[in-house]
A and B are shown apart, each in its own frame.
Chain A
Amino acid sequence: MKVLVCLCQVCDGEAAFSIAPDGLSVVPSERVAWRMNRYDEFALEEALRLKDSGIAQRVDALSVGPLRTLSTLRKALETGADDAALIRLDRPAFPAEKAGLIASHAAGREYDLILAGVMSEQGLSGATGPMIAACLGIPFATAALRLEAGPLARLVRVEREIDSATREAFTLTLPALVTVQSGINRPRYPSLSNVMRAKTQEIGIIDPAPPAAFQETPASAVYRMPDRGHAGLIIRGTAGEAAEELYRWLHGRSLL
């Protein structure tokens, strides 16, 4: 089995950012540290487990993004992916466009299974995975909490999450796409041998051909900071002062 894992690079939620004056983009501060989307760590781990158990022979990692994304692909190689490629795109894109680019890359490369994360922590769309499947016309399931494949049958069995107490199971005929929900496994750390191998391994950079399949982007997207919401009490100060102030607040509401 040949597996493709789609990885996106995100920054931490705590990272400083601003909104461009024209409102058309979010600008992270320059010192931001970029890392792999956590859901994609779970997807990569799932792929590597298929390889460990002899079901997958090859695991490739793929990202769409600017050159800084190479560090996340390098991390995937260090963690155990066999190969990595970057579809270079220097501006942010909506899921439909990313899915179109990934689908046209994957088409003809004969992947049996494409894995993605359930959602990007940064963009919060949760759309790219099923959109890739729709572009390729292959079956899919999202939010997998269990993925089972055998060495021979051209099938995977997926349990997808409905909520913390309920799942539903599907059998998909390969080729198929599955998005992975957090908690499905415990992602591994890079091994020394893979880190050494990844040091010198080349990562292919692809300049995107215009996506063949699908490119429907919203006409206008404007970013803004949300309203303050409740103008709640904000407590600062030393731990002792803050504790005292919260105590008074709770006491005033008969909560303590």
Chain B
Amino acid sequence: MASRKVPVVSDSDKKILVCGETAGRTLDSMTIEAVACAERAAEMTGASVTLALPCADVHEFDIMSGGGINVIALTNPLLKLYSAAGYIAAMERAVRETSPELVLIPGTSRGNDFAPALAVRLGAVFVPGVASLKEDGGSLVFTRSCWHGKAEMELKQAPGLTVATIQPGSFAGPAHRRVRAMVHEIKIDLAIGDTVPEGEIRAVGEADSGLRNAEVIVSAGRGIGRVENLALLEETASLFARSAVGASRPVCDYGWLPYGRQIGQTGKQVSPKLYMACGISGSPQHIAGMKSSANIVAVNIDPEAPIFRYAHAGVVADLTEFLRAFIDLVREKKKTGR
């Protein structure tokens, strides 16, 4: 197998490797975000960016990029289906080819699956869930959320190799122009090992939750306390036209609402005119699904809840008391026509 180094667009010897996931002929939206993140890091450090695509075969990809980007495809027929072992082998090879200082991996379900193990295999520092980047004395500083989303941790890039995942929704900057990149193919060896993938399973007949078309979403979090309190959220939603009730994950885990109503990283991504989060703390995984809403209102009893950092209007109150008062007030105003 050829082990010549990949030609680089920039003459810098600093390199950032991004791992991509492909969705057919286009790149997965999180990969586009990861490339945007890498390009921001490259601007700060003068590094060049290489996109590594573990895949079954090479074809042309449309890549959104701000500038020149190297693309290597790590190919093997077994990579038709995702497996951690396959992606780790492909990325280890890509690291050997490019000798990067930083490997950026989209914080998708699969990225979160293999990235920590890849870091161990490479003896790299691992930084999970990077939400923003800055530069300090020529080094990158990663910011990530911690302590229930209430505090942030800043990690300065250490010498050697760092593997980082990117918190979804954090680098979704303006769309870049489309470039058609040259893809350099590297065929890799893989054997079916002790992990055998069967492929994807789609949930059948997931009820249309009405979230997609809703202009107003009133969302329930664990803070509603009891399933009976959902009625208050439904009543609140009914005050608005074209509204729906959404939820954070625990509300669906408890079986209070179906998973079709879940909003967030692993649920629906919504951007209604008004998003009203009731009893939702604002974890990075929930924020990923609603942060682009035009107007965000949060109702939470904890003034320090992270959701208030994203809210355009925040009500610090017990949600049951507040929503009862709010429902009565709006009904009264509607009745009196003002």
Contact = CB atoms under 8 A, between A and B. Distances in A.
A138 B116 CA distance: 14
Contacts of B126: 94-96, 127, 131, 216
Contact of B202 (A166, A182, A214): A166
Nearest to A19: B151
Nearest to B144: A124
A242 B325 CA distance: 9
A67 B197 CA distance: 41
Interface of B: 81-85, 108-110, 112-121, 123-129, 144-156, 158-159, 193-203, 206, 216, 239-240, 249-250, 252-253, 259-260, 262, 265-268, 273-274, 281, 283-284, 295-297, 302-303, 306, 308-318, 321-322, 324-326, 328-330, 333
A229 B313 contact: no
Interface stretch (A83-91, A139-147, A196-204): A139-147
B326 A182 contact: no
A167 interface: yes
B284 A160 contact: no
19 contacts: A26-B146, A95-B126, A96-B120, A124-B128, A124-B284, A127-B115, A131-B119, A140-B117, A140-B195, A168-B201, A169-B199, A223-B151, A223-B152, A224-B154, A236-B316, A239-B317, A243-B325, A253-B295, A255-B295
Residue with the greatest number of chain A CB neighbours at <10 A, chosen from B120, B252, B315: B120
A139 B85 contact: yes
B116 A216 contact: no
Given A126-B116, A165-B203, A183 B249 contact: yes
Contact of A13 (B281, B308, B314, B317): B281
A249 interface: yes
B147 A95 contact: no
B151 A226 contact: yes
Contact of B262 (A134, A164, A169, A243): A164
A166 B120 contact: no
A13 B120 CA distance: 29
A163 B109 contact: yes
Summarize B's interface: helix, strand, loop or mixed. mixed
Interface stretch (A45-53, A71-79, A171-179): A171-179
A187 to B, nearest CB: 10
Contacts of A239: 317-318, 321-322, 324-326
Given A167-B200, A230-B309, A232-B314, A223 B153 contact: yes
A169 B239 CA distance: 43
Nearest to B200: A168
B120 A214 contact: yes
B83 to A, nearest CB: 7
A242 B266 contact: no
A170 B267 contact: no
B195 A141 contact: yes
A242 B85 CA distance: 54
Interface of A: 13-14, 17, 19, 26, 94-96, 99, 121-131, 133-135, 138-143, 159-173, 176, 182-183, 214, 216-230, 232-236, 239-240, 242-244, 246-247, 249-250, 253, 255-256
Contacts of A138: 194
A72 to B, nearest CB: 17
Nearest to B306: A226
A170 B112 contact: no
Contact of A247 (B260, B268, B329): B329
Contacts of B198: 168-171
A233 B318 CA distance: 17
Given A126-B116, A235-B314, A243 B322 contact: yes
B128 A169 contact: no
A221 B311 contact: no
Given A130-B84, A159-B201, A169-B197, A164 B267 contact: yes
A160 B262 CA distance: 17
Contact of B206 (A124, A165, A243, A244): A165
A255 B197 CA distance: 48
A247 B266 contact: no
Contacts of A233: 312-314
Contacts of B249: 182-183
A164 B116 contact: no
A172 B198 CA distance: 11
